[in-house]
Structure 1
Amino acid sequence: MGNTVYIISGPAGVGKSTTSQILVQAISKSAYISGDDVSHIPVNGRGKPWLDKDTYDLTWTNILSLTNNTLDYRYDVVIDYIAFPKEVKWLAQALSGKGARIVYVVLLVDKKTIAYRDRLRSEEAWMGERSLELLEQFENDPELSDRFKLYTDQYQTDQLSMIVEEIMSCDKYIFNA
């Protein structure tokens, strides 16, 4: 207990937050870190993390600090954020002294599903083309092994517990830096 970091990744609209919330409830002593919330800690002067290196670096440094702190108190940690293999590798190396097990899952869906789910959000939260760009980035990332990919388009909302069970029990998602 208190030695697993789950990184739930993927483009906007694949169900990262919903899956992460169910996962965190399934773990008896857990902490939830929303990368989006962490990236919004700076108010004035904040850039978009994918365009502004300082915002990107600060976001990941804060995620690392929060993860370290919660692991110190023996919580399992669920990180809900867009994370590519390079970020996961960096985080895993930074946490290597903790003996934490890193579970990395990239949720993916087809283009039609991602566009549909994006339109279900409130209008000010629409990601539009950014969701499709991220989907393409994940699908074409040469460092992203297929074993970390979990396609969720065939699952309905009432089947999310099946996705969470797979994430918690399937060793193929364990990331070794």
Structure 2
Amino acid sequence: MSVRSDARAAATVERIAVWGVAVLAVAALAGLVVGPGADLRTAAPSADFEGSYDNATGAVTVTHAGGDDLTGESVALVVTDADNDTTTRLLWANESTLPVTEGDSVTVDDPRVDSNGDGNYLDADRSVGFYLEPGDTVDVVWTGRLTGAPETRTETLETITIGDETG
């Protein structure tokens, strides 16, 4: 074998090795950016919520009971009156007030009871224009952009039914 063909063989092996190292470096970098086990198609935040209903005041309190901190663009409550299928969307937190973390809560009331006697029947953090009753639902809705995703998504993280999960 000539010196010239040995040099070509060495150059070819060297190129393959360099390309192999480059591919491994890119794969490692992608793994660091995306994170282990990340699934970009279904990786909405995972959080648990609890609801408690106080019939005397006509108020439901929704509490972040554990799981991921909620960041992104907004967290909203969509309250549905089961009797006439009316919905009201109420903002829980936006970009300036996020994250929503474990232990955070928001209370929604209806115009039935002036619980603090000040003449204003809307006494909670947020209010709806209909009476809250068993069977009504409260959806916790997150809007944000997932890591690496090209656009924003909206996901319902939990549905609380007054009279079921609530007291």
Is this a same-fold pair by TM over 0.5?
no
Is the strand fraction higher in 1 or 2? Answer: 2
Scaled to the shorter chain, the TM-score interval is under 0.3
TM-score, length basis structure 2:
0.25
TM-score, length basis structure 1:
0.24
